[in-house]
Amino acid sequence: MEVTDIAEKLAKDMKEISIAEFFEKNRHFLGYENPTRSLLTAVKEAVDNALEFTCQAGILPTIKIKLKEVEEDRYRIVVEDNGPGMLPEKVPYAFGKVLYGSAFHKLRQSRSLFGIGMKGACLYAQLTTGKPIKVTTSTGKKIHNFEIMIDVAKNEPIIVSHTEEENPSKWHGLKVEYEVVGRYVKGDTSVQEYIKRTAMVNPFAEIIFDGPEGKMVFKRATEKLPYQPTEIKPHPYGVQLGVLRRMLSTTKARNIIGFLTKDFCRVGRNSAIKICKLAKIAATKNPKEVDKDESERLYKAMQMVKLASPPTNCLSPIGQEALILGLKKGLKAEHYVAVTRPPSVYSGFPFQVEVALAYGGELPPENAIILRFANRIPLLYNQGDCVITKAIKDVDWRRYGFSQPSDGLPASPLAILVHFVSVWVPFMSEGKQAIANYPEIFKEIKLALQDAGRQMAKYIRKIRKIRESELRRSIFERYIPVVAQSVAKLTNKSEKEILSKLEEFIKRKTKVV
């Protein structure tokens, strides 16, 4: 064959690949790698969304989850929330088009992120059971019932059915129902554990889980919704050259000064003028007329001017008190401490780390329990790959009185909860179970762990001292009647008096300050 013919043959095979088909084939990227994990992922995507949109609407969430085995290794999942509901014209896209969503372009802490998760569950449901997802929703007006499938080859929604009904009770919310091939297990990576941990960090939510092992109800522990994070603009330090160029070409600002001060956070008029001077661009220039060289100079100048860190009202950490309350809900320990670090920045994105430790009590004596969370979502899989685990292993826990094999997790009756919040969680894959190892993130987690470790060490040292004193005292106390008797005989004084003086003396000497 001639070379040209070969090239033509190769060209014939080249075609566009639908993102839906890509994720259908690579469903393990989304967390559908085996029946056990698939069931968890399918439940999780709906519950995470239910919590997110109910909170965003300022409504105290009540989430009802039903999980029923309809035949062997096949489950029906129903998740219902009391959120604001979804406009009917958006329903087909929100469930039937991969890469469609509201969170991707926003810099604000959110459980939702990619515009992939729920569509992944729909894809997996139709791939394994061939059935559409049923969506029932209302914004308080009419109730809309949908059956949605995905045209995988085109990545477009198929509306299998759509009916309306009256809504005399003015119900609002969203209910999804779908069937998947999956396997229900117990233990650390189970649906039940995911729900338990979700309740731990979302104490304002009522969660009712009706699963294969019966009904579990997590009552609302507080009537107070957490602070609603605000959307922020990108920070100049976190914008790459290519993105800057796109921003220049689409901005509504009429000059560079306006562009810098309005499209970015933390750039005031003075900083903007400084940037323009450094970049040798007229401050009045139309952003759309900035050429390649100028944009590169602008990019470099933006990195050189000193600017405040991005605002942190885009973040909503849990807080030390609520963290400890959450831990107490899930574990029975002897002592709890918590640390919330001040916000920090990686690649221009604000983030914040919280750590809570629980010690002793009914915790297993040999292995520390690791509880990882990102934006209030529990992470159950890929623990070894996660920066949280790496930071925990890097801390010298022996310094705080715990045992720890070399380079390992601490081997003590300890639970370590780490919560990472950010406007953009750098997950290692679309499966959203492990956070990537950015040096700034690693450092902040480690500092939080060390701070919490020191606090816990104080308690443990105190406890040890008390226990040692008690031990000493109990030894003394065992012998003082004999001693008192002998001393009384030798000194001819009252045995009772000697005994009471000795007791008093021992109490004083073994008192812990």
Which one, of 336, 457, 326, lies nearest residue 397 by Cα? 457
Q: Token pair 């992470």 is at which residue?
A: 379
Establish if 296 lies at the interface with its own copies (CB under 8 A): yes
Q: Identify residues 478-497 at the interface with its own copies (CB under 8 A).
A: none
Q: Chain centroid to CA 12: how far?
A: 45
Please say which residue, 216 or 247, places its beta carbon nearer to its own copies: 247
Q: Identify residues 217-276 at the interface with its own copies (CB under 8 A).
A: 240-243, 245-246
Helix (H) or strand (E) holding 337: strand 335-340
* Amino acid occupying residue 152: V
Establish if 513 lies at the interface with its own copies (CB under 8 A): no
- Contact between 266 and 310 under an 8 Å Cβ cutoff? The reply is yes
* Interface residue with its own copies, options 62, 68, 73, 104 (CB under 8 A): 104
Q: Cα dihedral sign for 428, 432, 434, 439?
A: positive
* Interface residue with its own copies, options 286, 362, 374, 424 (CB under 8 A): 424
d(CA 401, CA 145): 58
* Interface residue with its own copies, options 92, 101, 182, 238 (CB under 8 A): 101
Main-chain phi, psi angles of 136, to 5 degrees = -120, 125
Which one, of 149, 47, 32, lies nearest residue 98 by Cα? 149
d(CA 54, CA 61): 6
CB of 44 to its own copies, least distance (A): 19
Establish if 335 lies at the interface with its own copies (CB under 8 A): no
Stretch near its own copies under the rule CB under 8 A, chosen from 15-23, 67-75, 282-290, 320-328: 15-23
* Interface residue with its own copies, options 6, 304, 308, 471 (CB under 8 A): 6
Establish if 24 lies at the interface with its own copies (CB under 8 A): yes
Q: Identify residues 305-334 at the interface with its own copies (CB under 8 A).
A: none
Establish if 288 lies at the interface with its own copies (CB under 8 A): no
Please say which residue, 342 or 405, places its beta carbon nearer to its own copies: 405
* Interface residue with its own copies, options 31, 35, 96, 115 (CB under 8 A): 115
CB of 129 to its own copies, least distance (A): 7
Which tokens sit at 112? 């939702």
Establish if 432 lies at the interface with its own copies (CB under 8 A): no
Q: Cα dihedral sign for 113, 187, 418, 195?
A: positive
Q: Identify residues 122-141 at the interface with its own copies (CB under 8 A).
A: 123, 126-130, 139-141
Stretch near its own copies under the rule CB under 8 A, chosen from 40-48, 83-91, 367-375, 392-400: 83-91
Establish if 433 lies at the interface with its own copies (CB under 8 A): no
Please say which residue, 134 or 197, places its beta carbon nearer to its own copies: 134
Q: Identify residues 381-410 at the interface with its own copies (CB under 8 A).
A: 384-385
Please say which residue, 1 or 513, places its beta carbon nearer to its own copies: 1
Mapped to the 3 state alphabet, what secondary structure does 17-83 carry? CCHHHHHHHCHHHHCCCCHHHHHHHHHHHHHHHHHHHHHHCCCCCEEEEEEEEEECCEEEEEEEECC
Region of 459 please: left (phi>0), alpha (psi -120 to 50) or beta.
alpha
CB of 195 to its own copies, least distance (A): 25
CA distances (Å), origin 405, targets 348, 359, 384, 393, 446: 36, 18, 16, 10, 18
Please say which residue, 29 or 476, places its beta carbon nearer to its own copies: 29
In three-state secondary structure terms, 93 is helix
CB of 323 to its own copies, least distance (A): 28
Q: Identify residues 144-203 at the interface with its own copies (CB under 8 A).
A: 152-153, 172
Establish if 7 lies at the interface with its own copies (CB under 8 A): yes
Please say which residue, 133 or 338, places its beta carbon nearer to its own copies: 133
* Interface residue with its own copies, options 31, 61, 85, 120 (CB under 8 A): 85
Establish if 436 lies at the interface with its own copies (CB under 8 A): yes
Q: Cα dihedral sign for 271, 275, 281, 287?
A: negative
d(CA 373, CA 48): 12
Stretch near its own copies under the rule CB under 8 A, chosen from 3-11, 73-81, 259-267, 334-342: 3-11
Q: Total binding residues for its own copies by CB under 8 A?
A: 77
Establish if 351 lies at the interface with its own copies (CB under 8 A): no
Q: Identify residues 53-72 at the interface with its own copies (CB under 8 A).
A: 53, 56-59
Region of 383 please: left (phi>0), alpha (psi -120 to 50) or beta.
alpha
In DSSP terms, 279 is beta-bridged to none
Which tokens sit at 496? 């009772």
